[in-house]
Structure 1
Amino acid sequence: MRLVLAEDAAVVREGLAGLLTDRGMEVAAAVGDAEALLAAVERTRPDAVVADIRMPPTHRDEGLRAAAELRRRHPGLGILLFSQYIETGYAHSLLADGPAGIGYLLKDRVLDVDDFIDALHRVVAGGTALDPDVIARLLRAGPSLAVLTPREHEALGLMAEGLTNAAIARRMGISQRAVEKHTAALFDKLEIPRTTATHRRVQAVLHYLGEGRG
């Protein structure tokens, strides 16, 4: 697996690069800011990016904005972001365009090498890797997925893969209108508030991942 690593703290950056190299991965570039990250991806064409959300110059959301730009330029690129803090707003922004190929871990979780490597493999394969503590913070206590019918559960699982309603309809062998009915029903059963359609899909996927299916 070929990676680009972005972390402004040199000691952490070098430690992560060494850890990943020891696990047989190729660190094509290790950089310290978002601008350098964008340039390194264009230059090296990696399989995935591992980046801190907070980087220079403001140490706020530079990594997140770089990730959004990379998703636009390279739709198949796996992106695994990490942060010292649980940033609920950032997590929603990260998932808004679909959860496929996206990961968000707390820095403490990165120290669990096996979990970290597993998360990397999942995002490169087009899956999702969200820190359990992030999911817990994002979700209020609510109904279990057991309230869903088998077809609603199937539709939710496909939604968690990042499929559109049209793609879900093809996979399930039903009409797009039927998919819309299933998704509307599962939103209501999971008590997901009526805000934007994108927000509701993100919340539904978080429910799915929160019950151990991520």
Structure 2
Amino acid sequence: MTTLDLILASSSRYRQAQLQSLGLAFRTAVPNIDEVALSHETPLSISRRLALSKALAVAKQCPASVVIGADQVLDLDGLPLGKPGSHDAATRQLRLLSGRVAYFHSAVSVISPRTQQVTVSTTRAVFRQLSVTQIESYLLFDRPYDTAGSAKAESLGIALLEELSSDDPSAIIGLPLIALTRLLNNIGIDPISLSKQG
């Protein structure tokens, strides 16, 4: 592969910014897939399946490209929490999460003409006891309606937490870059060598 055609199968501005931080040239494509959870699916398996499905959907249209897919699902005692989509739904999510331990499963998939890879990085999050006023104030500030679990850890959402632990600190934002770099290296793509200079 002399010229790398790298595609991020996502419309997420957060994941685009994360991938840009690696200095790689890439383009984006929106995967048109059904993201509804299947019956008896765990939060972890949902994240894996959707990350792979997003990458496969775009790879089908661009078979010579390297395609990255990603998905994140919050796991609260086995209950999957995705993007709330509205203020009311976000309020309900944060009330559920108040004072609880939850897990953010951040899956990433890399599809190339010869291989399919998918892995998950999990972040353990301990939420503070949150008052109704704190939840409302936070939501009005961050408006995290497009974020799994209604908490933007890269912004004021970090103040909702007592503790955050992961083997990949970038995973909480939605694209686990350590895991992604490993998958890219597996197919002979070294982001350090390919990063744009200047």
Same fold (TM over 0.5): no
Greater relative contact order (CA < 8 Å, ≥ 6 in sequence): 2
TM-score (structure 1 length as normaliser): 0.29
Q: TM-score, normalised by structure 2?
A: 0.31
Q: Which has the higher strand share?
A: 2
Structure with bigger helix share is 1
